[in-house]
Amino acid sequence: MVKPTGPTNYQLVQLLNTLESKARESNFWRRVVDDLKKPTRQRREVNVYKINQQAQKGETILVPGKVLSVGTLDKKVDVAALNFSADARRKIQEAKGKTLSIHELLKQNPDGKNVRILG
């Protein structure tokens, strides 16, 4: 029988500890915590073109994983994610959007209102 160990990345463990208290109060943050606790191979990877397809202009998107750079972005969208590739970060910023860490999003929007989870 395999013993589950959970994430070993120090920053991720700190983020999960911070989110645990919010997860008790909010289903939104509970879902984010559940997604972030998954093994690295099961964590979400979302390309920029998928954000462009799914997001509305001015919306905030949360990716509980990594944002990759395939495709283009022609909308101003704020994207919060665990990790960004360098080209994905550049493409989002060129479209006048913001790239945030999940911790920054938690500080800005502690209730998780008007945020869409993508992936």
Q: What pLDDT is stored for residue 115 in this prediction?
A: 94
pTM to 2 decimal places: 0.88
Choose the weakest-confidence range: 1-5, 32-36, 93-97: 1-5
Q: Which CATH number is 80's domain given? A: 3.100.10.10
Indicate whether 72 belongs to any domain. yes
CA 75 → CA 32, 68, 105, distances in Å? Answer: 24, 16, 19
Averaged pLDDT for residues 14-37: 91
Task: Compute and round to an integer the Cα radius of gyration of the chain.
Answer: 14
Residue ranges making up the domain that contains 46 = 10-117
Q: What pLDDT is stored for residue 40 in this prediction?
A: 84
pLDDT > 90: percent of the chain: 67
Indicate whether 66 belongs to any domain. yes
Indicate whether 43 belongs to any domain. yes
Give the H/E segment covering residue 54: helix 48-54
The C-alpha torsion from 70 through 74 and 76 to 79, rounded to 10°, is: -10
- The total domain count for the chain is 1
| Neighbouring C-beta atoms of residue 106, cutoff 10 Å | 19
Indicate whether 96 belongs to any domain. yes
Q: What pLDDT is stored for residue 4 in this prediction?
A: 66
Indicate whether 3 belongs to any domain. no
Each residue of 30-57: pLDDT tens digit? Answer: 999 999 998 888 888 999 999 999 999 9
Indicate whether 4 belongs to any domain. no
Alpha-carbon 77 to chain mean position: 13
Secondary structure in 3-state letters for 92-112: HHHCCCCEEEHHHHHHHCCCC
